[in-house]
Amino acid sequence: MSVHHKPPEEFMAPSGIGPELALQGSRSQSILGRLLPARRPPLNGNAGACRCRTRRRKKLVVVLLRRGFDVLRLQGEEYVILHKQDQLWWRAQDKHGNKGFIPSNYVTEKNRIEANSWYCKNITRTEAEQLLRQEDREGGFVVRESSQKGVYTVSVYTKTLSATGDIRHYQIKITDTGQFFLAEKYTFGSIPDVIRYHEHNAAGLVTRLRYAVGPMGRCVPATAGFSFEKWEINPSELTVMKELGSGQFGLVRLGKWRAQHKVAIKAIREGAMYEEDFIEEAKVMMKLCHPKLVQLYGVCLQQRPLLIVAEFMENGCLLNFLRQKGGALREAWLLSMCQDVCEGMEYLEAHSFLHRDLAARNCLVSEHNVVKVSDFGMTRYVLDNQYTSSNGAKFPVKWSPPEVLHYSKYSSKSDVWSFGVVMWEIYSEGRTPFENRSNLEVVNDITRGVRLYRPHRASQSLYAIMYRCWHEKPLGRPTFSELLEQIRKLAENPD
């Protein structure tokens, strides 16, 4: 586990204060303080040393996203990055000279495509269509990444073709000389220039780009903790609102942190886990930050039961969501859910982190129906033998590959097997895999090469992806990176 050295005192936020600080000075500056702490004098009154340090780094970034209801004016503010303290929190200075830490996933370099209000990186074709239909405005559009890396697509909504609305997708193309264009060859030196032109001219598109549709919260990522190096949370800062349910470790409740941010609070039942080991691992898990992972914010150690504070997901468990609403979801949306899970798992794979218990019950659904992977790595700390032993009744036999069932050998390829079962759960609308078979019968079936059947809502090409995850040998299974590429291609070419 990497150790981060604390920054000099003059750049630290006051004790116990996170990203929602207020700056000293006028009211017009107070919003900036939601991400930056109040300016503090340098040590020993050495103001000159501080100024020199700032001049050394000139990288300018712009805030992309809003956080909460009271940070609306923050979007578009510019900061100079002083130091990338780690990959998640950067030390920065605003235009008034105030210094502090900002979450790196809330900013981008000023001239990058991400700085534009019409761009959303983490959005699928299906999700783009949903946003545009919800907005229901002629010429509404978003710009997103295509299934091809480095290629961008403009999705446009129009009612000129039908009263119910139609969506067209245009790939932004590039000439041999590096010029960008859309439907007709009106070429420009940058993508923003292409968009600006088509905001005033249809020029081959079904309609001109009239209205940039924002991501409506679905692209806003959680931050890794509430502030830099803050992983322990004071329980007095939490307000419990209502019970959400119970899980493997204990009760889960909806709460608020500092009466402002909604969070999920998991109370760990005494004797349910190896607490000391988990606390150390939690510090690492907090640094795993991705839009398709449920973010761990911190833990409360000052009382028992131990409390885990995590991102709150409004629509709850994916399994229940599928059972209640799966029949109303189009096939394209089911594929989008598979893509969400695969993106989260690709990130874990790239960071050499294993889930070990990937299943629909361990994925959660946001307010905008984005699926995020939850409870990654937690099974290592369970004390329940029925859950951790392949002989136990609670062990997830129906989601496990042969090498786990017989030898307890876990790898990213065992997670790939489980992902194939999650895809099956999604396309079967939440049915239980091998539902009429006992665990012992399932072990024998899997060992003999029996695999889950094709759900009636899964196409042959989709089932082929699913089936590849269930190769007997780990090396015969694809990586999550390969799976994601296949799913993206299928999403862009659904027919």
Task: List active site positions.
Answer: 357
Whether 256 has a binding-site annotation, put simply, is no
* Calpha distance 452→432 (Å, rounded): 11
* Calpha distance 54→56 (Å, rounded): 5
- Give the CA angle between residues 120, 345, 321 to the nearest 5°: 80
Residue with structure tokens 């979801």?
329
Phi, psi of 218 (to 5 degrees): -75, -20
Phi, psi of 268 (to 5 degrees): -80, 115
| Strand-pair category, 140-145 with 211-212 | parallel
Residue with structure tokens 């900036």?
32
Joined tokens for residue 412 = 């990213």
Residue with structure tokens 């695999």?
451
Closest CA to 272 of 301, 252, 249, 246: 249
Joined tokens for residue 364 = 């959660």
- 264 near 233, Cβ under 8 Å? no
The answer for residues whose C-beta is within 8 angstroms of residue 251's C-beta and 6 or more apart is 243, 245, 266, 267, 269
- 107 near 62, Cβ under 8 Å? yes
Closest CA to 411 of 480, 337, 488: 480
- 53 near 82, Cβ under 8 Å? yes
Summarize the annotated binding site for ATP as residue ranges. 266
